[in-house]
Amino acid sequence: MALAGPAANFILFLLSGFAIRLGMLLGVFHEPIRATFTHMTEASVPGAAGFAATFLSIFYVLNLLLGTFNLIPVPPLDGSNGIAVLMSDEIAAKYFSWNRTGFGMVGMLLAWFVYDKIFPYIFLFALNVLYPGSHYS
């Protein structure tokens, strides 16, 4: 149950990626020259396609960000409970006891600092999966 949030984010991430690829097949979207968080795809036709491209781009990156960030095993993130699945009952009990000591805010700050360093690589990976063969760097 603890991983339901990240799972929902990854499902929405995959659905938005599918919608982008479908839009490309239909000729509504095309690959951007330079991809950013708000421009994972660009409209090929004027009108509502521009709004759809921006919406899907933000939706794609936002769900990638939320899904991966929530997997960090630090309270109060979902990953802090999900990691207990990999532990024995005794170790999990000690882990949950330790989590209740107020580590949450320090852990969140540490997680955000570390995540800021690794998300560009996650983003680049997702971009190259969305556009295989493009070799974004």
Instruction: Judge residue 118's burial from the number of C-beta atoms within 10 Å of its C-beta, 0-12 exposed, 13-18 middle, 19 or more buried.
Output: exposed
Q: What is the mean pLDDT of residues 110-121?
A: 88
Any idea which residue has 């990953």 for tokens? 79
Whether this prediction's pTM lies above 0.85 is answered by: no
Q: What is the mean pLDDT of residues 104-111?
A: 73
**78-92 per-position pLDDT tens digit:** 776 777 777 788 887
Q: What is the largest CA-CA distance in the chain?
A: 60
What integer pLDDT is reported at residue 102 of this predicted model?
A: 66
Looking at the DSSP bridge assignments, the partners of residue 29 are 43
Domain boundary assignment for the chain: 4-130
**42-73 per-position pLDDT tens digit:** 999 989 999 999 999 999 999 999 999 888 87
